[in-house]
Amino acid sequence: MAIQVLIPTPLQKFTADQSSVELEATSVDGLLEALEGRFPGILARLTDESGKLRRFLNVYVNSEDIRFLDNQATALADGDEVSIVPAVAGG
C-alpha cells in the first residue's frame, strides 16, 4: 500500500527537506501515524490534542478534499496521492 504524500514547505523541516515522501497506510488516520513513525514530532503539528486534523489544514486524496470523503477515516489504496495544504486566502 504505497502512498505518495506531498509535504508543504512549512513541514519539510521534519522530512529533511523532502517535498514528497512514500509511506504505507490504508487510511488517512493510518497515514498520520505512519508519518509520525517516520518523522517524529510531525503529528503534533498536523493534529490537535484529540487527534483531529487542525482546522486550518486541508488534506486531499487524489485531489479530493477528505471532507467530501470520509474525513480522517478515508480509505487509501496503493498508488494514491495525498496532499497536505495549509488554508490560503482568496480570490
Q: Whose Cβ is closer to other proteins: residue 26's or residue 81's?
A: 81
Residue corresponding to grid cell 493534529: 47
Cα gap 33→42, rounded to integer Å:
10
Enumerate residues 31-90 that contact ligand PLP by CB under 6 A: 90
Residues 6+ apart with CB under 8 A from 80: 3, 4, 61, 62
Q: Whose Cβ is closer to ligand PLP: residue 41's or residue 90's?
A: 90
Q: How far is the CB of 44 from other proteins (least distance, A)?
A: 9
Cα 80 to Cα 37, 60, 72, 76: the distances in Å are 19, 10, 15, 6
Q: Whose Cβ is closer to ligand PLP: residue 41's or residue 91's?
A: 91
Q: Which residues bind other proteins (CB under 8 A)?
A: 6, 8-12, 19, 45, 48, 54-58, 60, 63, 65, 67-68, 83, 85-91
